[in-house]
Amino acid sequence: MGWLWWLGLALVLGVIELLTVDLTFLMLAGGAAAGGLAGALGAPFWLQIVIGVVVAVLLLVLVRPMAVDKLKRSTPEAVTNVRAHVGRPATVVADVTERAGRVKLAGEVWSARTESPGVVLATGTTVVVTRIEGATAVVAPQTQETPQQPYGQPGPGY
């Protein structure tokens, strides 16, 4: 009957792991499951604890570093919020100068300005967002030399 407590502990640790996604509590849950298995097989309580601790430590030391490395390599970091707009194309809806202007970016109209003094981008021009400053998109004309960043990847100047 004691193995049910181990199973309950493993489930609680599994839920905590779902909330943290650090793989630490998953390894501890593995240790609790091993202790529960020992209990189900009739091991005395002190041996259940030893088995649970040894398995948890082995999982933490041997398995977790490899699992974290694999997770980091296979999961790209998602760029969100204004950082996601850097490198995106936009269309000028009101002439953009070094001081003011408007562009349509991802379906929204943003205030914009150019990075270079003396450059005026006319309405209808396609531009590329080089960075975001507050609520203003800093843009440059889209040319063959302008490197396009994939959406969601930080571009130059950020």
Each residue's pLDDT tens digit, 97-141? 999 999 999 888 999 999 888 889 999 999 999 999 988 999 999
| pLDDT at residue 103 in the model | 95
Q: What is the pLDDT of residues 43-53, one digit of tens each?
A: 999 999 999 99
**CATH (one of 3.40.605.10, 3.30.1330.10, 2.40.50.140, 3.40.190.150) for 81-141:** 2.40.50.140
Contact 104, 93 (CB under 8 A): yes
| pLDDT at residue 146 in the model | 46
| pLDDT at residue 155 in the model | 47
pTM exceeds 0.85: no
What single string gives the DSSP state of each residue in 81-124? GGGGGTT-EEEEEE-B-SS--EEEETTEEEEEEESSTT--BPTT
pLDDT above 70 covers a percentage of the chain that reads: 89
User: Quick one: average pLDDT of 15-35?
Assistant: 93
* Residue 156 binned pLDDT confidence (cut-offs 50, 70, 90): very low
List where CATH 2.40.50.140 sits in the chain: 81-141
User: Quick one: average pLDDT of 5-31?
Assistant: 92
| pLDDT at residue 158 in the model | 40
- In this structure, how many other beta carbons lie within 10 angstroms of the beta carbon of residue 47? 14
